[in-house]
Chain A
Amino acid sequence: DAGITQSPRYKITETGRQVTLMCHQTWSHSYMFWYRQDLGHGLRLIYYSAAADITDKGEVPDGYVVSRSKTENFPLTLESATRSQTSVYFCASSESGGPSYEQYFGPGTRLTVT
């Protein structure tokens, strides 16, 4: 059982390039999330999705685009990568969006923007 997977696991890209991070979950969870984790910060929410074709902004959405055409996939695109977007990106999913839900995280993508 794969659970939640992310690809690529490591990515180096140049400033100004577009890059897409993939997230796939096999549990049919309704909710999916993208976070970034940087030194000196806790996990910060970029975007989330309550269902296919429903997405909403989190705390730090600028410079990112998401889509969710299928329940199981939630790609994150950096339209024009900047050095400040160098980070570890985690995708997560959960059954529901209520206050008692557990989020299951993918293994992360380490992105370096040069």
Chain B
Amino acid sequence: RKEVEQDPGPFNVPEGATVAFNCTYSNSASQSFFWYRQDCRKEPKLLMSVYSSGNEDGRFTAQLNRASQYISLLIRDSKLSDSATYLCVVFQVSGGGADGLTFGKGTHLIIQP
């Protein structure tokens, strides 16, 4: 199965700082890309989709680099509430279609006061 790789961290970042992390994927035919957020012992929730042109949602910016096969997430002015695990998720074409989502293992972010 094609892989989605993330630095597990933890990233320890002071409140108010900017933090960025990347995710690489191995299948060049991947179609869609997402960042999910997972709080400790909770369910994953969609943070944002990642579009080819890059996209921004408040303090969060996602970028896609198809040539190098990576996506990135940038968090500006980090808040204590941003502490979580961020899952990189890639939709890769497979036989069944709906089973095409592959989840990375996650990057653990800790915002320190």
Contacts and interface: CB of A to CB of B under 8 A. Distances in A.
B32 A59 contact: no
Contacts of B42: 107-108
A101 to B, nearest CB: 8
Contacts of B44: 43, 90, 105
Interface stretch (B11-19, B60-68, B70-78, B96-104): B96-104
Nearest to B106: A42
Given A43-B87, A50-B98, A102 B43 contact: no
B31 A99 contact: yes
B43 A107 contact: yes
Interface in A85-109: 90, 97-100, 102-103, 105-108
Contact of A31 (B1, B91, B98): B98
Contacts of A108: 41-43
A61 B50 CA distance: 29
16 contacts: A42-B4, A42-B102, A42-B103, A43-B87, A43-B103, A45-B99, A48-B99, A50-B98, A59-B1, A59-B99, A90-B43, A90-B44, A97-B97, A100-B49, A100-B91, A102-B49
Given A59-B1, A102-B46, 11 more contacts: A31-B98, A41-B105, A42-B103, A43-B44, A45-B101, A48-B96, A56-B99, A58-B99, A59-B99, A90-B43, A102-B34
